Amino acid sequence: MPLVTSTEMFKKAYEGGYAIGAFNVNNMEIVQGITEAARDLDAPLILQVSKGARAYANHTYLIKLVEAAVIECPNVPIVLHLDHGPDFETCKSCIDGGFTSVMIDASGKPFDENIEITRKVVEYAHDHGVVVEAELGTLAGIEDEVNVSAEDSSYTRPEEVEEFVSRTGCDSLAIAIGTSHGAFKFKPGTKPQLRFDVLEEVSRRLPGFPIVLHGSSSVPQEFVEKINQFGGNMPGAIGVPEDQLRHAAELSVCKINIDSDLRLAMTACIREHFAHNPGDFAPRQYLKPARQAIKDMVAHKLINVLGCDHKI
């Protein structure tokens, strides 16, 4: 089937108490690992592309890789989404270039400016059959070249969401409830805890409206340990507990963003491969197990965290 928008996907996910996985793609092996897991498990899927990924791999290469996945996985509904669109021009370029969904991330701007930019993107996107994710509240961590410190991050203010959604016309809303980008989300020794009270108040004010969680990697400790064991240096890497993400998916969260866990799975596998096979130098030798590691990790997420397996 051709690329789809997330409209139907989110409606079913909201009603069914599960979430769609939105995984970041940067190259062929990542696209293959993710889409093969979704194909084997009959799971709907969002593939998302950041500004950095477009700069790295080139828009056309990424589009063609995703088109190849669409052909190879004919049973899987796939959304092609722009992650953290920084401005109208980037969103327009993706809308004109075949994406079915874009995020405009003006969450760092004042409320009225965020509304103005988001509204402009929504008007253009909807005229072209494309849906729009917007963001209210600021996550800590690193995305592209933007680094937000924990002190500068802020939870979404539920009292702002109705006005924001009605004035912008956005199709889904990313909120800040304690997740953050990257592999170091919580201080070692503290108990990671998402603000479900904020999520529930947002949902009460926006009944039936799809909510998005960014920064939702769980940073599996087996990958961190492997990376550290085989020459890496990531002490104290901690993610969002899987059971809290599962709970969020049962509530109004319909899209859960995962990138760091893909990076960890791939890096742990490649580091281990070279430790055991120091003479290898052909990319296929280490990229093949790395692709499999991504597939296994994504399959685990689809079943145990998102609950979206067999939902096609």
Pick out residues in 6-45 that bind ligand G3H (CB under 6 A): 24
Give the residue with the Cβ less far from ligand G3H, 147 or 221: 147
Residue 143 touches ligand G3H, criterion: CB under 6 A? yes
The residue (of 52 and 97) whose beta carbon lies closer to ligand G3H is 52
Site for ligand G3H (CB under 6 A): which residue of 39, 181, 226, 273? 181
Contact 70/83 with Cβ under 8 angstroms? no
Rounded to 5 degrees, φ, ψ at 10 are: -70, -35
Containing H/E element for 257?
Answer: strand 253-258
Using CB under 6 A as the binding rule, whether residue 26 contacts ligand 13P is answered as no
Active site residue 152: no
CB 23 within 8 A of CB 259: yes
Rounded least distance, CB 74 to ligand 13P, Å: 27
* Range 175-204, binding ligand 13P (CB under 6 A): 181-182
Which residues, 70 to 129, sit near ligand G3H by CB under 6 A? Answer: 83-84
| Structural tokens at position 197 | 């009270």
User: Tokens in use for 119?
Assistant: 């509204």
User: Rounded to an integer, what distance in angstroms lies between the CA atom of residue 256 and that of residue 8?
Assistant: 16
Question: What does the alpha-carbon distance between residue 31 and residue 63 come to, in Å, rounded to a whole number?
Answer: 11
Smallest separation (angstroms) from ligand 13P to the CB of 204: 24
Residues whose CB falls within 8 Å of the CB of residue 222, separated by 6 or more in sequence, listed in order: 268
**33, 85, 215, 307: which one binds ligand 13P (CB under 6 A):** 215
Among 5, 6, 24, 156, binds ligand 13P (CB under 6 A): 24
Nearer to ligand 13P, 208 or 226 (CB): 226
Q: Of 1, 21, 4, which Cα lies nearest the Cα of 248? A: 21
CB of 281 to ligand G3H, least distance (A): 27
User: How near is the Cβ of 181 to Zn ion at its closest, in Å?
Assistant: 6
Q: Which two tokens stand for residue 44?
A: 């709907």
Dihedrals phi, psi of 129, to nearest 5 degrees: 75, 25
d(CA 223, CA 219): 8
CB 72, min distance to ligand G3H, A: 24
Q: What is the DSSP letter of 301?
A: I
Per-residue binding letters, 255-274, with Zn ion (x by CB under 5 A): --x-----------------
CA distances from 71 to 20, 57, 68, 107, 254 (A): 20, 20, 5, 36, 25
Using CB under 5 A as the binding rule, whether residue 214 contacts Zn ion is answered as yes
Of these residues, 83, 105, 171, 309, which one is catalytic? Answer: 83
Q: Which amino acid is at 107?
A: S
Instruction: Give whichever of 83 and 309 is closer to ligand 13P, judged by the CB atom.
Output: 83
**What gap in Å lies between CA 78 and CA 66, rounded to an integer?**
9
Q: How many CB atoms lie within 10 A of CB 102?
A: 29
The verdict on 216 binding ligand G3H (CB under 6 A) reads no
C-beta closer to ligand G3H: residue 63 or 206: 63
| Chain contacts with Zn ion (rule: CB under 5 A) | 214, 257
Site residues (vs ligand G3H, CB under 6 A): 24, 50, 52-53, 83-84, 143-144, 181, 259
**Residues recognised as catalytic:** 83
Which residues are at the interface with ligand 13P (CB under 6 A)? 24, 83-84, 181-182, 214-217, 257-261
